[in-house]
Amino acid sequence: MPNFHAKEFVEPSYPSDYGKTNFEFVAQSTRGEKLVMSHLEDNDLLLKINKSKKGYLIKGDKITRPSQVAILQQVLKDYRDLTKTNTTNSNIDSKKEKTLKVSPFLKTMEYFANSFETSKDILVEVGFGSGRHLLHQAKKNPDKIVIGLEIHKPSIEQVLKQCELQNIENILVVDYDARTFLEFLNSNSVKQIFVHFPVPWDKKPHRRVISTAFINESRRVLMQKGTLELRTDSDNYFEYSFGEFIKQAKVELHVNKNQDLEISSKYEDRWKRQEKDIYDITMINKEISEDIPRIGTLKFDETIEFKKVKEKFQEVTLRGDDFFAHIEEIFKINKDEGLVRVSFGASQRNEHSYLYIKKDSVTYLPDNVLATKDNEKAHKLIKEHIWNM
């Protein structure tokens, strides 16, 4: 990640501008940690100043990091030049681009949380890897939307490239954890969910995609006769998953062994060469599920005095049944304004953010906290805690 080191460093006055970047304020924690609020075009991000015996390290704060590394690089260059710092070590002039390229097929979670609407049937593939099956489904079903979920960036790049080369227009790719994605789809809108050769996670079972929560959410989003299709080469994962499916109070399951599909993935080819067994479990959804309203944006409707929060502040972890909120640290901007660093959500996926407390408002920074069910519950905990101080 972009950063620079310096032996000497003199802070500017705030606010200051350099190039197209505005450095609005500095916020300081009781432990001496410093954050600089910076704005470049539509991007709001915090720089972090770390002081050690050897000198200074200036980098982007990981919570407010923009999606494009190039933006952070530019802001750091502007800060270095504004402060006329002689760097001892720096990577902010390198041209390496590590983030995903912009593509019409690549969608953010915010898009699915706030804007995604379609009257077409939806297919979802979890962990598409090389994308052979995803591309096959998209070509076979031009009248449907095929959503591919993957967390491995090179696989995503590869599929985005193939979409362009093969003129495929009905794929939407999301760089997001499949375990919580389905929450953002409407009830009864999905025809098929494919989970092909998921990572078995024998040593970290909590990371498995198939779970009671995932099956329940699949049932909600599947239309009547819609299917959730698991394909695995792992005896363990097959047995574990079968146990999860059969826990359902009422369910139709079909189990197959060593059945060929229309298309074989790279993984599958390898297992077939090794003559491993391959298992399929298909769950057929019978029910029509209730629509659930979208949660919308997580907001604070009331204001609170920063002075009061600062006086009473203590680091604390608040716990609900299966979610938590960690109130981590407080940063003062001036007597009326400050930041509170928080992390919260479900144990499997944490959200990190700051509460930006001003005289007339409290907002999240960055303000794109996803309104998942667990985040909403944790958001209520945070509100209760802060407003009861």
Ligand X SMILES: C[S@@+](CC[C@H](N)C(=O)[O-])C[C@H]1O[C@@H](n2cnc3c(N)ncnc32)[C@H](O)[C@@H]1O
> Residue numbers of the site for ligand X (CB under 6 A)?
126-130, 149-152, 155, 177-179, 196-199, 209, 265-267
Q: Which is nearer to ligand X, 45 or 149 (CB)?
A: 149
Report in angstroms how near the CB of residue 193 gets to ligand X at its nearest: 12
Q: Which is nearer to ligand X, 40 or 263 (CB)?
A: 263
- Calpha distance 132→335 (Å, rounded): 57
DSSP state, residue 243: H
Q: Which is nearer to ligand X, 197 or 354 (CB)?
A: 197
Q: Which residues, in sequence order, are bridge partners of residue 175?
A: 150
Report in angstroms how near the CB of residue 234 gets to ligand X at its nearest: 10
Report in angstroms how near the CB of residue 150 gets to ligand X at its nearest: 5
Q: Which is nearer to ligand X, 136 or 307 (CB)?
A: 136
Q: Which is nearer to ligand X, 299 or 373 (CB)?
A: 373
Q: What is the token pair recorded at 359?
A: 């005289």
Report in angstroms how near the CB of residue 232 gets to ligand X at its nearest: 9
- Identify the CA nearest to 191 among candidates 234, 237, 233, 144: 144
Report in angstroms how near the CB of residue 198 gets to ligand X at its nearest: 6
Report in angstroms how near the CB of residue 336 gets to ligand X at its nearest: 42
Report in angstroms how near the CB of residue 186 gets to ligand X at its nearest: 20
- Calpha distance 146→122 (Å, rounded): 6
Q: Which is nearer to ligand X, 184 or 197 (CB)?
A: 197
Residue 140 has phi, psi (to 5 degrees) of -75, -25
Q: Which is nearer to ligand X, 180 or 353 (CB)?
A: 180
Report in angstroms how near the CB of residue 206 gets to ligand X at its nearest: 11
Strand, helix or coil for residue 364: strand
Q: Which residue is nearest to ligand X (CB)?
A: 127
Please report how the helices 235-246 and 212-221 are oriented relative to each other, as an axis angle in degrees rounded to 10. Answer: 60
* Helical H segments across 126-222, by residue range: 132-140, 153-165, 178-181, 212-221
* Helical H segments across the chain, by residue range: 69-82, 109-114, 132-140, 153-165, 178-181, 212-221, 235-246, 266-273, 306-312, 373-387
Q: Which is nearer to ligand X, 207 or 307 (CB)?
A: 207
By CB atoms closer than 10 A (0-12, 13-18, 19+), residue 99 is: middle
Report in angstroms how near the CB of residue 19 gets to ligand X at its nearest: 38
Q: Which residues, in sequence order, are bridge partners of residue 282?
A: 229, 254
- Calpha distance 203→188 (Å, rounded): 34
Q: Which is nearer to ligand X, 151 or 292 (CB)?
A: 151
Q: Report DSSP letters for 11-74, one per residue.
A: ---SSEEETTEEEEEEEEETT--EEEEEEETTEEEEEEEEEETTEEEEEE-SSS--S-HHHHHH
